[in-house]
Chain A
Amino acid sequence: MPDPGFQTKDLRVWRRDSPQKLLVDLSLSVAPGEVLTIMGPSGSGKSTALSALIGSLPPDFAQSGDIVVNGQSVCDLPPHLRRIGLMFQDDILFPHLSVAENLGFALKSQRGDRKARAAKIEEALAAANLAGFGPRDPASLSGGQRSRVALMRSLLADPKVLLLDEPFSRLDAELRASVRGFVLEQAKIRAIPVVLVTHDAQDARAAGGPVVSPTGVPVAL
C-alpha cells in the first residue's frame, strides 16, 4: 500500500523568460482528512501553483519536480485523469444545466444505472441540506447554496485531493463560517486531503493546518 494522501516533491514553477525567479517552490505532504493552506497576497504565485497542481499551466511557464496523489505521480497525466477536485471563488456551476444535472456531470456515465445515479444525486443534495432542489435553475440559488452544490459536485467525482481556490471570499462573514465548516467537515468524513489557496488569514486560521507561501516559506498567522 503506497503512502495515502497528497505530496509535492520539489515542485518548482518559473516563467520561461525569467528562469532565475521561482514563482512556486513547494515540498508538501497532506494526509487524508488534513488541510494545508497556501497563503499569499494576489500576484504571489498562488494561481500559478494551482494551475501547476491541476495540470493547466500556460505554455509560457515551466515546471520541475513531482506531484503525487495516493502514491502515484500525476505530473504526466492530463487534468481530467489527475483525480484532483477543484473549487473556485465563484462557485462555477454550469448555467445551462439544472442543479441535479450539475451534480450528475461528476458521475461516470454508465448505461443502465439511471436509478443509482438519481439516488446518488439525491443523497448528495440531502447531505448539502438541499433535498428537492434537483430540478432548480442554479441561478435561482443563494450564494451559500451554490457553494454547497459546487462542493457536492466535486465530491461526487470521488477526488483523491480537494483543491480550494479562495472558495469563501465571495460569501459574507456569517455564511462564510458555515460553508467553510461544511466543506472541511465533508473532506474529513471522506478522508480527502485538502489544499486551500487563499489570501485571507482568517480562512487559513479556521482551516487549522500548516500554512505556507507559494515558495514554501512557513507563514505565521
Chain B
Amino acid sequence: MTKGAPAQVNPRWRWLGILVPGLIIAPIGVGLGITLAPLFLTPKAFQALFAWPGLGPATWVSLWSGVLATSLSLAITLVLVAVGWGTRPFRLLTRFLSPLLSIPHAATALGLAFLVAPSGWVARLLSPWATGWTLPPDLMILNDPLAMTLTLGLVLKEIPFLLLMTLAALPQSDASRRLMVTQSLGAGRVQGFCVAVLPAIYRQIRLPVYAVLVYSMTTVDMAMILGPTRPPTLSVQIVVWTAQGTADHRLLATSAALWQLGVVVLALIGWHLAERAGGLWLKSHALRGVHRGTMARWAEGGLAGLASALGVALVAIMSLTFLGLALWSITGQWTFPAALPHSFSLRVWMSGAPSLAEHSAHTLILGLVSAGLSLAMAVIWLALGAGQGRHHRWVGPLIYIPLLVPQVAFLPGLQVFALGLGWAGNMALVTGVHVLFVFPYVFLSFSPSYLAWDDRIARVAASLGATPLRILLTLRLPMLLRPMLTAFAVGFAVSVAQYLPTLLMSGGRVETLTTEAVALSSGGNRRLIGAYALLQMGLPALAFGLALFIPALIFSNRKGMEERHA
C-alpha cells in the first residue's frame, strides 16, 4: 500500500513551519548570548571564579552525581526492559509510568528527604528497636557531601522517563522478532536483548539519555533539597550568585555558567565515547557467539531477580514518599522515634489555605496556559508537515535543544533581557518561558499518535469534498482527543514542576506551589512542606485523570474510539 502524501499546505502558511521551532530556539540563543557575553568583555571574570575554593569540589560533585545518576537510571531501565518486557508484572509497572512521570522533581526530592533524613520515616521505623536511637542521629544522610541522596532522587525521577522513551522505541526496532531469533539460537533473554535489540533501541533513546545527563548535572531544585551544601553543586551556586544581584556576583555567576556549560559538553563527549566503546564491546561479544554455560544461566537468573526487586523498589519508594508527605500534612504531633503520628490535625491545611490557594491558582494558570499554547503549537507544526517527509530528520534534534542546554546557562541571560525590556515579573513572560520546556514534552507525547493516524480517512474525506482544514478540525483532531488530552496533561505536569524558570523570570514575584515548596524546604515546617508537595503531586494527577475520563465520557457510545487511538 502506497502511503499518501502529507496534506497539502497552502504556501501562504509555510512560514509558520519555521516560526514554531524559532519560537523555541530564539529565546535560548538570546539567553545564552547574554549570559556569556560579558566574559568576552572582561576576561578577568574567570580569575574570580578560579579563586573560589569551592570550584573544584562543586564541579566534581555535579559531574559525579550527574554521570552516576544517568548511568544507574539507564542501567536499571535496560535491565527492567530486557527481563520484563512482555511479561505481566512489567505491564503492571508501565501503568504506573505516567503518574510516576508526572510527579514534580521537587516533590520527589521532598518526599525522599522525609524518608531518609536522620529523623525521617526509615529511621523511625527502625528505631529504637534496631538502631537504639531515641533521638535523631547526627548523620549527614541528607545533603551528604558525596551527593548520594541527590543521586538516588535523580534516579527515581529519571527511570520513569527513560522507561517511557524505551517503550516508545521498542515497536519501531522490531524487537520481538529479533529477540525470538536470538533465543532460537540459544541465547538467554538478557543476552539476546543486549546483542540484538539494544543497539537498535539505543540509537533512538540517545537524545533522551543526553537530556537526562544534562538535567542530572545541572538540576537546581533537587540539588537544593537533597544535594551537598558546602559547597553546593555548581548550578545551585550559580543561582545563589545570581540572586545576590551585585555586578561582581553576576559576573561570577556568568563565568560559572560558561564553566558549567564546558563541563556539560565534556561530559556529553565522554558519554558519547563510552557509547562507542560499549557498542564495540557488544559487537565483539556477539561475534564470539552465545554463552550457554551454567554461569550464563546463573547470570540470567540473577538479573531476573534483580529486575523484579528494582521494579518493586521503585514503586515502593515512590509510594512511601507520597504517603510520607500526605501523612506529615495532617500530622498533629509526631515525636521521634514513633513510627506513626500521635495525633492528626488539619491545622496546616486550614491556616495555610489562603496561600495554598493563591499558589495553586498561579500554578494552575501557568500550567493550563503553557500546556494549551504548547499543544496548539504542536498541532500547527505537525499539520504543516513536521516529522513527515524531507524535514523529518531535523525535528528530533530541534525538539531536544531546550532539554540539552542547561537551564542555568541561558535563563540568567534571558532574565537580564527581560529586565532590560521592563518585562520582569510579567505573568505572560513566565508563561512563555514555561512553554520552552513544556513544548518538547507535549510534542514528543502527541506526535506518534498524530503520525499514526489512518491516512485513508483523510483520503476518503477529501473525496467527499472536505478541505484539509476541515479534515484536521472535524476528523483528525477529534479522533485524536485522547492522545491530545494526554499530551496536555504531560505538558501541565511539566509546567507544574518548573522551578528555576518561574523563579528567575518572575523575579520572585510569581510564586507557585513548586517555588514555595523549594523555599520552604530549608526550614523545618514539615507539615506545610507536606501540604505543598502533596498539592504539587495532586494537580498533575488530576490532569491525567481528566485526560482519561473526558474522552471516555464523550465517546461512551463510540466503540471504535476505544484504545485503538490511545
Contacts and interface: CB of A to CB of B under 8 A. Distances in A.
B301 interface: no
Interface string B541-566: 00000000000000101111100100
B464 A94 contact: no
B392 interface: no
Nearest to B457: A92
Contact of B2 (A55, A58, A156): A58
B478 A157 contact: no
Q: Counting chain B CB atoms within 10 Å of each CB, which of A95, A153, A159 scores highest?
A: A95
A139 interface: yes
Contacts of B234: none
Contacts of A156: 464
Contacts of A79: 459, 462-463
A148 B477 CA distance: 26
B1 interface: yes
Contacts of B95: none
A61 B3 CA distance: 11
A159 B559 CA distance: 30
B467 interface: yes
Contacts of B389: 59
Q: Counting chain B CB atoms within 10 Å of each CB, which of A59, A90, A94 scores highest?
A: A94
Contacts of A139: 558-560
B558 A88 contact: no
Given A56-B5, A96-B555, A154 B463 contact: yes
Contact of B479 (A56, A78, A95, A153): A95
Interface string A47-60: 11001001111110
A80 B460 contact: no
Interface residues of A, number: 41
Contacts of A88: 456, 460
B451 interface: no
Nearest to A94: B475
Contacts of B555: 96
A219 to B, nearest CB: 21
Given A47-B2, A92-B456, A139-B559, A159 B463 contact: yes
A58 B2 CA distance: 8
B397 interface: no
A157 B463 contact: yes
Contact of B459 (A48, A86, A150, A159): A86
B231 interface: no
A126 B349 CA distance: 63
A86 B463 contact: yes
A170 to B, nearest CB: 13
Given A79-B463, A80-B468, A92-B454, A58 B5 contact: yes
Interface residues of B, number: 32
B264 to A, nearest CB: 39
Interface in A48-88: 48, 51, 54-59, 61, 78-88
Contacts of B461: 80, 94, 105
Interface string B440-466: 000000000000001011011111111
Contacts of B475: 94
B172 interface: no
B465 A108 contact: yes
B456 A154 contact: no
Contacts of B468: 78, 80
Contact of A58 (B3, B465, B557): B3
Q: Counting chain A CB atoms within 10 Å of each CB, which of B1, B4, B463, B558 scores highest?
A: B463
B351 interface: no
A138 interface: yes
Given A48-B2, A94-B457, A56 B462 contact: yes
A84 B459 CA distance: 11
B8 interface: yes
A83 B462 CA distance: 9
Contacts of A159: 463
Interface in B368-413: 389
A84 B2 contact: no
A163 to B, nearest CB: 8
Interface in B474-491: 474-475, 478-479, 481
Contacts of A80: 461-468
Contacts of B467: 80
Q: Counting chain A CB atoms within 10 Å of each CB, which of B467, B555, B560 scores highest?
A: B560
A137 interface: yes
A106 interface: yes
A174 B478 CA distance: 36
Contacts of A54: 459, 462-463
B464 A138 contact: no
A142 interface: no
A51 B465 contact: no
B462 A137 contact: no
B561 A96 contact: yes
Q: Counting chain B CB atoms within 10 Å of each CB, which of A58, A80, A85, A156 scores highest?
A: A80
A93 B461 CA distance: 10
A140 interface: yes
Contacts of A57: 2, 5
Contact of A140 (B3, B464, B559): B559
A51 B2 contact: yes
A70 to B, nearest CB: 15
Contact of A47 (B1, B454, B474, B561): B1
Given A58-B4, A58-B5, A154 B560 contact: no
17 contacts: A48-B2, A51-B4, A56-B462, A79-B459, A79-B463, A85-B464, A86-B460, A87-B460, A88-B460, A92-B454, A95-B558, A95-B559, A95-B564, A96-B479, A153-B464, A157-B463, A163-B463
Given A56-B4, A79-B462, A154-B464, 13 more contacts: A58-B2, A61-B2, A78-B468, A80-B465, A81-B465, A84-B463, A86-B459, A86-B463, A95-B561, A96-B481, A105-B474, A156-B464, A159-B463
Interface of A: 47-48, 51, 54-59, 61, 78-88, 90, 92-96, 105-106, 108, 137-140, 150, 153-154, 156-157, 159, 163
Q: Which 9 A-B pairs have the closest CB atoms?
A: A95-B560, A139-B559, A86-B463, A79-B462, A139-B560, A157-B464, A80-B462, A106-B464, A56-B4
